[in-house]
């Protein structure tokens, strides 16, 4: 990483202490450690604290976890963002076969990531190409770690409903959501 992430983790709060117990002593080490964890949904999709316990996470839980570590350690240049982007094989390796099966070239997807000094940092996994992801962002907003659950889902569903109408998509919202779930499942394999 770079000098903008070389902060010592010294908070006495529980999550910071659990990271230290894992041998992770700085924020740049935390970025590397969390990125190496497998992509997978946690048992509670909105509980970012499960990332260490379950040794896996999604874009939401991994980035919310890191945003909370930054907050606990007074690292103010790290912000959590929710963006909607056009997910396709080019920027999210592994979803192409699902999209092709349903004759879609892309699907608007909600994605969480960090901005460190206003630069996008995505540690979800190696399946998302940061360059094409950034080019595909349609809208974004800063959120708090507690907004990765129902708030994120509601924002995403609202956007999809509008997209279906605007683009005259020949699928119902329910069908689009099932296709989206199949894409997410393909990323976990």
End-to-end CA distance of the chain: 28
Report which DSSP code applies to 26: B
Report which DSSP code applies to 13: S
Residues 142, 158, 175: CA angle, nearest 5 degrees? 130
The model carries a pTM of 0.91
- Say how far apart CA 67 and CA 57 lie, in whole Å: 14
Give the 3-state secondary structure of residue 82. Answer: strand
- Helix segments in the chain, DSSP class H: 14-21, 27-36, 50-54, 59-72, 96-101, 130-136, 150-166, 173-187
* pLDDT by residue, tens only, the chain of 189 residues: 455 568 999 999 999 999 999 999 999 999 999 999 998 889 999 999 999 999 999 999 999 999 999 999 999 999 999 999 999 998 888 899 999 999 999 999 999 999 999 999 999 876 555 557 788 899 999 999 999 999 999 999 999 999 999 999 999 999 999 999 999 888 877
Contact 98, 182 (CB under 8 A): yes
Query: From edge to edge, which strands make up the β-sheet containing 137-143?
Result: 119-121, 107-116, 78-87, 137-143
Domains held by the chain: number: 1
For the stretch 121-157, pLDDT in tens is: 999 876 555 557 788 899 999 999 999 999 999 999 9
Residue 20 lies in domain: 1-189
Sequence-distant (≥ 6) Cβ neighbours of residue 47 within 8 angstroms? 61
């Amino acid at each position: 990483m770079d000098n903008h992430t070389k902060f010592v983790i010294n908070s006495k709060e529980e999550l910071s202490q659990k990271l230290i117990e894992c041998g992770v002593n700085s924020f740049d080490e935390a970025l590397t450690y969390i990125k190496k964890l497998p992509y997978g949904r946690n048992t509670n999709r909105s509980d970012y604290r499960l990332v260490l316990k379950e040794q896996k996470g999604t874009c939401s839980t991994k980035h919310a976890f890191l945003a909370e570590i930054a907050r606990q350690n007074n690292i103010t240049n790290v912000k959590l963002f929710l963006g909607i982007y056009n997910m396709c094989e080019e920027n999210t390796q592994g979803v192409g076969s699902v999209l092709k099966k349903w004759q879609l070239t892309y699907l608007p997807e909600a994605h969480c990531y960090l901005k460190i000094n206003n630069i996008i940092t995505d540690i979800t996994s190696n399946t998302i190409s940061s360059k094409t992801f950034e080019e595909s962002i349609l809208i974004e907003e800063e959120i708090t770690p507690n907004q990765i659950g129902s708030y994120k889902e509601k924002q995403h569903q609202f956007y999809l409903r509008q997209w279906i109408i605007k683009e005259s998509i020949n699928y119902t919202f329910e069908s689009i959501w099932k296709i989206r779930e199949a894409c997410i499942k393909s990323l976990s394999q």
